[in-house]
Amino acid sequence: MNIETLNTFLLLSETGNFSRVAEKSNLTQSTVSARIRVLENSLDVKLFERTPSGVLLTEAGQKFYKYAASMRQLWQQGRQEMVRSANPKKTIGLGLHMTMWRRFMPDWLVWMEKHHPDLSLHVEADYSERLVDYLSQGVLDLAITHMPTAVPELVVEPFMEDELVMVSRKKRHFKSCDPNGYVFVDWSYGYREEHQEKLPEFAVSNMNIGYGEIALEYLRVSESYAYMPSAYVSGDIQNNLLHVVTDAPVLNRPSYLVYAQHPSNHDALKAAIDGLRCSNNGLHAPPC
């Protein structure tokens, strides 16, 4: 198995047509078929089934797809890392939970450019589990996650707590809010438990959104209400696009710094952490 075969598999999965894959890859259709056949033989499973309009992934093919996509991503990141390693500048790789990029970007990049122009910067946004995987694989040097799970060879330390407030497009009092108009936004570990404890009646709502950006756009045009990090919606509140629901409980969402226990670039890592704390004015912020 090689990266060209994986790319062919992924492209065929997306297009469902051998001739389109051949055209896009500048290959003959027989070469595309041969690559898929070799891949199926090596895995000892059938990955595609033929239909009148093309091909579809089998159940085994659907399971393999996510691994193939991850392998391609790691290969691409590995190539990028090799290019960066040829650069005389030291590189620092930072990972942020998907819902936290607003909190630190672009302030962290500006701070790093100002105070450490000698460093080459690499930023990824993803979910906690994937960020921890990237740290374990050496793709990243540092991450901010919401998952405090201990992982061998990685240091996990408390970083900050986000204050979350219930907001709505219209001015409301908490007493007037009921679960029918509530949007539950899954802000990950820590938050869920406190939400269940303080708002058990809102645990089941008609709308559950797993990504804050989608929920925020919906709140701007609907009559609903939901919890958002204060820093996330400060601009909307200042411009009267959203209002904090009066007397609604304030919730918290903890986050953690995760990094290698024995980093090879200790000075660069310390600089990146200092920059994060300055950008957030968080715990133990250094002079900025």
**Who wins on pLDDT, 80 or 259?**
259
Report pLDDT for 282.
Answer: 45
Q: Which residue has the tokens 């670039």?
A: 265
pLDDT at site 284: 45
Q: What mean pLDDT, rounded, does the chain reach?
A: 89
Query: What is the pLDDT, as a whole number, of residue 85?
Result: 62
**pLDDT-based confidence at 233, cuts 50/70/90?**
very high
Q: Are 22 and 32 in contact (CB under 8 A)?
A: yes
Q: Nearest to residue 148, comparing CAs of 125, 128, 175?
A: 128
Percent above pLDDT 70 for the chain: 94
pLDDT per residue over 32-69, tens digit each? 999 999 999 999 999 999 998 889 999 999 999 999 98
* pLDDT band for position 287 (cuts 50, 70, 90): low
pLDDT at 217: 95
Would you say 145 and 101 are in contact if contact means Cβ atoms under 8 Å apart? no
Per-residue pLDDT at 13? 94
User: Which pLDDT score, from 0 to 100, does residue 283 have?
Assistant: 42
Most confident of 89-93, 124-128, 174-178, 253-257: 174-178
- Complete domains list, the chain, with CATH: 3-79 (1.10.10.10), 84-160+255-280 (3.40.190.10), 162-253 (3.40.190.10)
pLDDT at 285 over 60: no
For residue range 207-226, what is the model confidence (pLDDT) as tens digits?
A: 999 888 899 999 999 999 99
108 pLDDT more than 90: yes
Contact 190, 164 (CB under 8 A): no
